[in-house]
A and B are shown apart, each in its own frame.
Chain A
Amino acid sequence: MIQLIELTVNGERHDLAVEPRRTLVDVLRHDLGLTGTHVGCEHGICGACTVLVDGAPVRACLMFPAQVEGADIRTVESLAAPDGTLNDLQQCFSAHHGLQCGFCTPGFLMLAEGYLAEEPDATKEEIREVVASNLCRCTGYQTIVEAIDDCAVRRRAALQQQLDGSTA
């Protein structure tokens, strides 16, 4: 059996014919060629497959495309500018050495993007709790937490500056 599905990924619309049992992560990676999203366990624990669905982090290995029709799906490929310039969060990961092999990284990036959008005032301890939902085998997590915290601090400072600017 084949299903016709319409997905919006990183702002682009795709019409797809897929087997209903095919997971969202397989569709993203192998049908749409968006291989930045990784697979580390296929049972919802490692978080390497984290993408944003309408802004919220979800595990793409546990989702089927039919569940996200009409939703706004974002993958790691959406973060950098078209010319390749990394966004502030990605730059913070690099500056803090928040990645070694980089396999878990897209999952952590999307997790953090979703979380910081919801909770821009998150403390470092709150960030650590959220980071605990994904697995990394290389870094020991400390630099991932530091990278996300640094990004949050910078975003807050930028926002403050904007506010100060607009009131001045």
Chain B
Amino acid sequence: MNEAAFRKDGAWVGASVPRREDPRLLAGRGRFVDDITLPGMLHAQFVRSTEAHAEIRSVDLAEVRAVPGVVAAFDAADLDLRDITALLDRPAAEFVPTAMPVLARDRVRYVGEPVAIVVARDPYAAEDGLEAAVVEYAPLEPVVSDTAALAPGAPLVHAEAAANTLVDVSMFATEGIEETFAEAHTVVRVQTRTGRQNALPLETRGVVADWDDRDEQLRVQTCSQVPHQVRTVLARCVGLDEKRVRVTVPDMGGGFGQKCVVGREEIAAAAAALRLRRPVKWIEDRRDALTASFLAREQRYDVRAAFSADGEILGIDADVVCDMGAYSCYPFTAGIEPLMASAEMPSVYTVPAYRVRARAVTTNKAPTAPYRGVSRPQYVMVVERLFEKAARALGLDAVELRRRNLITTFPYTGVNAVTYDPGSYLESLDLCEATLREEGWFDRRAEPGRVVGIGFACFSERTGYGSGAFAQRRMAVVPGFDLSQITMDLDGTVAVTTGTLSHGQSHETTMAQIVADRLGLPYERVKIVQGDTDRITYGWGSFASRSITIGGSAVAAASVKLGERLREIAAHLLGTDLDSTALDGDGGVRAGDRRLSYAELADVAYLRSHLLPKGLDPGLSATASFDVDGDGTFSNATHGVVVELDPGTGGVRILRYVCVEDCGVAIHPQVVEGQARGGIAQGIAGALFEQVTYDEAGQPQAPSFMEYKVPTAAEIPDVRIEHLETPCAFTESGAKGAGEGGTIGAPAAVLNAVNDALRHTGTELDDTPIPRESIFRALEVGR
């Protein structure tokens, strides 16, 4: 390969180099969990609850065990595993811990909850086995909405959680906020619901587990974003030492948060493998993935904003209720959505007063996990709707109103006690608007006979949550740091570990670029090691756009340390002092006109260690860690959308999508754009199409792709992306996170555009997915 062609100004960072992941994935030679076959492997499926809420009277698996091909069947009593419990460090008034049993014990709390595991010679026989299971239920009244959950006298999903409330936190209440609202010139209000969504990685969840007698280890290969957390929970549930469990992650077909919590099925399958001393594979089928996996995003907001006569925002007063379903997820708990909304809602504006109460309620629906953006798609939507409404009320242009209130001086410490590092909030809005204007969309909007609207969304996204930021949320398990170890081999190539875990984000490429620049090596000579609890001391995996900011910084720091070590050895061998040496950017260390290549230095470090400086350990490796000191770094963007509504059907067609984003230094611009586009597609999906629904009995109504409408290339538009670059001051490469922004901005921008198109009708729509019938009716009435 002609590497010079790919580098940018002689550097790897900033160049869209070919992805290291691509050749195997394109050739069909990746290794996803379902591609793994072990000798003697058995296949598991789960007997799942058919009731939304019931006591289990009895579980009879005798017939199951008699089905040809079935090898074993276990219920909760058979496996006798410890429950999964996720905790917050908060008082009882704010947080109620609830245990999630691996297999339901005496009560089921959602349709699809695993009750027993059936293990068979092939997946077909396992399915046969399921049909022979006899589970007797005593049905209880199900709780199927957040309003029903909070209604006085509602049945309790968990006896210990009064009013079905798992989290009830009032994080901020600026003094005098009542007066602010009472005296304000204009107060606007948004009441909205957002639909329950499925993060929907195209690869469903799955695991292959087996007990290895030689290593004396339970080996678990699973598509998880958080292998170390799976190890911890699994070890506890089955009662093994952590060292007796090894979790590795093969190629992963997406995760988007759904796979960053510990699932019950992977624990049960591993426990069955341990019991049977045979490999057990479980691959979630799509029906289970749609109905019984981890869901997200079902929230209700009632938010007011106060404005002065000249359009200055004076305060935000918010009440948030998140329907977290039946259980708290590990490690984040049911607090994940309400705490995120509470901490970040003032968004990109200079909001002087803020009050928020946020609750997590439990219902008889499949539980929730973080999903790309976590609450930010919703509160950004709410805040951006508030600005649109205020602009109408004040008779101002909504873009101008935003301009007057955007944070423009940095660092800025908000009313939410968060300090925002520099970003391009105003610049991105200006560029986004100017782009749409230049392209002529404002003229199109004014054309008679067409129902065209333009919508914007301004937002920032905290990326790289360090331990301090998670501690502020009072998690009992506090993620944040990342550790990296780098080792150079005899030939001068390096392997670098990261505790993060790529599942589509290209870390094998981007992390290698970071290392390549630090050590002056071609990026092909850098191997990234991820997703193996035996090879990586500890890691928090990949979520919350933390990988490049935190993991990438740890990897960079380890590289720098190794570079110092190489210089130390070189200085000694060349008989000069450390300061006279430098990495030469080409795989060697230089001192004046003399040079030693890495291979020559490695030769000494490993094969002729008697030549090393006194006191220096043989070998070539270094370890470094990184954590964010303070509040993290904020990526930002403005999205601008043009939609056209179809009066005949109420359908929404997106005519144009412009995204102006700023994630600091882009390690690999093409990857950054890919993240933005993919995120936007998911945001549009939430705004217009996807929703997990239940009937009154709590039966899921979208068990296949026929009902759960995932948008295709026919619905998702091309996106024009413009980059701004405000480097982060404290990550090692100036990068900020880029994983979630697209998803965060899209619902708000689309909803605003639809409302703009409806401006002549007097109807305003605030819920997502935006009901087609509502658009149809609004246009019919407004004609």
Given A93-B26, A101-B504, A102-B26: A135 touches B32 (CB 8 Å cut-off): no
**Residue of B23, B26, B37, B202 touching A137 (CB-CB under 8 A):** B202
- Are B26 and A80 interface neighbours, CB within 8 A? yes
- Are A22 and B705 interface neighbours, CB within 8 A? no
Q: Tell me the residues in window 744-773 of chain B with beta carbons closer than 8 Å to chain A beta carbons.
A: none
Question: Residue on A with the closest CB to B674?
Answer: A97
- Are A135 and B710 interface neighbours, CB within 8 A? yes
Q: Closest approach, in angstroms, between the C-beta of A114 and any C-beta of chain B?
A: 16
In angstroms, Cα B742 to Cα A152, docked, is 29
Q: Tell me the residues in window 330-374 of chain B with beta carbons closer than 8 Å to chain A beta carbons.
A: none
B671 at the interface (CB under 8 A from A): yes
B140 at the interface (CB under 8 A from A): no
In angstroms, Cα B35 to Cα A28, docked, is 11
- Are A42 and B713 interface neighbours, CB within 8 A? no
Given A43-B705, A131-B713, A136-B202: A100 touches B674 (CB 8 Å cut-off): yes
- Are B677 and A143 interface neighbours, CB within 8 A? yes
Q: Tell me the residues in window 105-148 of chain A with beta carbons closer than 8 Å to chain B beta carbons.
A: 105-106, 109, 128-129, 131-145
At the interface, is chain A mostly helix, strand, loop or mixed? loop
A36 at the interface (CB under 8 A from B): yes
Given A43-B286, A100-B506, A105-B26: A140 touches B203 (CB 8 Å cut-off): no
A52 at the interface (CB under 8 A from B): no
A76 at the interface (CB under 8 A from B): yes
In angstroms, Cα B504 to Cα A105, docked, is 12
Which residues of chain B are near A101, meaning CB under 8 Å?
25, 201-203, 251-254, 503-504
**Residue of A86, A97, A139 touching B27 (CB-CB under 8 A):** A86
Which residues of chain A are near B677, meaning CB under 8 Å?
139-140, 142-143
Given A84-B27, A104-B202, A138-B678: A99 touches B22 (CB 8 Å cut-off): yes
B613 at the interface (CB under 8 A from A): no
- Are B37 and A141 interface neighbours, CB within 8 A? no
Q: Tell me the residues in window 6-47 of chain B with beta carbons closer than 8 Å to chain A beta carbons.
A: 16, 18-19, 21-23, 25-32, 34-35, 37
Interface string of A25-62 (1 = CB under 8 A from B): 01001100111111111110110100000000000000
B586 at the interface (CB under 8 A from A): no
Given A42-B285, A140-B678: A103 touches B713 (CB 8 Å cut-off): no
A94 at the interface (CB under 8 A from B): yes
- Are B28 and A35 interface neighbours, CB within 8 A? yes
Question: Residue on A with the closest CB to B203?
Answer: A103
**Most chain-A CB neighbours within 10 Å: which of B23, B200, B251, B505?**
B23
B719 at the interface (CB under 8 A from A): yes
Which residues of chain B are near A72, meaning CB under 8 Å?
none
Q: Tell me the residues in window 201-226 of chain B with beta carbons closer than 8 Å to chain A beta carbons.
A: 201-204
Q: Closest approach, in angstroms, between the C-beta of B441 and any C-beta of chain A?
A: 19
In angstroms, Cα B128 to Cα A21, docked, is 12
Given A41-B705, A100-B506, A135-B712: A76 touches B27 (CB 8 Å cut-off): yes
A79 at the interface (CB under 8 A from B): yes
- Are B26 and A132 interface neighbours, CB within 8 A? no
Q: Closest approach, in angstroms, between the C-beta of A133 and any C-beta of chain B?
A: 7
Q: Closest approach, in angstroms, between the C-beta of B278 and any C-beta of chain A?
A: 17
- Are B253 and A139 interface neighbours, CB within 8 A? no
- Are A41 and B714 interface neighbours, CB within 8 A? no
Which residues of chain B are near A131, meaning CB under 8 Å?
712-713
Q: Tell me the residues in window 611-639 of chain B with beta carbons closer than 8 Å to chain A beta carbons.
A: none
Which residues of chain A are near B285, meaning CB under 8 Å?
42
In the complex, number of A-B residue pairs with CB atoms less than 8 Å apart: 171
B682 at the interface (CB under 8 A from A): yes
Interface string of A67-104 (1 = CB under 8 A from B): 00000000111011000101000100111010111111
Q: Closest approach, in angstroms, between the C-beta of A131 and any C-beta of chain B?
A: 4
Which residues of chain A are near B719, meaning CB under 8 Å?
140, 142
Given A30-B37, A140-B681: A103 touches B202 (CB 8 Å cut-off): yes
- Are A86 and B202 interface neighbours, CB within 8 A? no
Interface string of B707-729 (1 = CB under 8 A from A): 00010111010110000000000
Given A39-B34, A100-B674: A138 touches B28 (CB 8 Å cut-off): no
- Are A35 and B35 interface neighbours, CB within 8 A? yes
B706 at the interface (CB under 8 A from A): yes
**Residue of B23, B31, B32, B124 touching A22 (CB-CB under 8 A):** B124
Which residues of chain B are near A39, meaning CB under 8 Å?
34
Given A131-B713, A132-B713: A48 touches B202 (CB 8 Å cut-off): yes
Which residues of chain B are near A138, meaning CB under 8 Å?
202, 254, 504, 674, 678
- Are A80 and B704 interface neighbours, CB within 8 A? no
Q: Closest approach, in angstroms, between the C-beta of B27 and any C-beta of chain A?
A: 5
In angstroms, Cα B15 to Cα A84, docked, is 25
Which residues of chain B are near A94, meaning CB under 8 Å?
18-19, 22-23, 26
- Are A144 and B253 interface neighbours, CB within 8 A? no
**Most chain-A CB neighbours within 10 Å: which of B204, B253, B505?**
B253
- Are B202 and A135 interface neighbours, CB within 8 A? yes
Which residues of chain A are near B679, meaning CB under 8 Å?
140
Given A43-B704, A105-B25: A128 touches B504 (CB 8 Å cut-off): no
In angstroms, Cα B285 to Cα A97, docked, is 28
B662 at the interface (CB under 8 A from A): no
- Are A135 and B705 interface neighbours, CB within 8 A? yes
In angstroms, Cα B675 to Cα A140, docked, is 9
Given A76-B27, A93-B26, A97-B673: A38 touches B32 (CB 8 Å cut-off): yes
In angstroms, Cα B204 to Cα A5, docked, is 30
- Are B29 and A36 interface neighbours, CB within 8 A? yes
Question: Residue on B with the closest CB to A44?
Answer: B705
In angstroms, Cα B504 to Cα A97, docked, is 11
- Are A77 and B27 interface neighbours, CB within 8 A? yes
Given A76-B27, A94-B19: A139 touches B203 (CB 8 Å cut-off): no
- Are A100 and B678 interface neighbours, CB within 8 A? yes
In angstroms, Cα B23 to Cα A93, docked, is 10
B680 at the interface (CB under 8 A from A): yes
Which residues of chain A are near B680, meaning CB under 8 Å?
140
Which residues of chain B are near A144, meaning CB under 8 Å?
713
Question: Residue on B with the closest CB to A43?
Answer: B704
In angstroms, Cα B505 to Cα A105, docked, is 15
- Are B678 and A106 interface neighbours, CB within 8 A? no
- Are B28 and A86 interface neighbours, CB within 8 A? no
Question: Residue on B with the closest CB to A40?
Answer: B202
Question: Residue on B with the closest CB to A128?
Answer: B713
**Most chain-A CB neighbours within 10 Å: which of B25, B32, B706?**
B25
Q: Closest approach, in angstroms, between the C-beta of A48 and any C-beta of chain B?
A: 6
Known: A33-B37, A94-B18, A97-B673. 19 other contacts (CB 8 A): A35-B35, A76-B27, A76-B28, A77-B28, A93-B26, A94-B26, A95-B18, A100-B506, A100-B678, A101-B201, A101-B253, A102-B25, A102-B251, A104-B202, A104-B253, A128-B713, A133-B712, A137-B678, A140-B678
Those 5 A-B pairs whose CB atoms lie nearest each other, nearest first: A36-B28, A103-B253, A102-B25, A101-B504, A140-B677
25 A-B pairs, CB-CB below 8 angstroms? A26-B123, A34-B28, A35-B35, A38-B253, A43-B286, A43-B704, A43-B705, A45-B704, A46-B705, A79-B27, A80-B27, A97-B16, A97-B19, A97-B670, A97-B671, A97-B673, A103-B201, A128-B713, A131-B713, A135-B705, A137-B200, A137-B678, A137-B710, A140-B742, A142-B716
B residues neighboring A (CB under 8 Å): 16, 18-19, 21-23, 25-32, 34-35, 37, 123-124, 200-204, 251-254, 256, 285-286, 503-506, 670-671, 673-674, 677-682, 704-706, 710, 712-714, 716, 718-719, 742
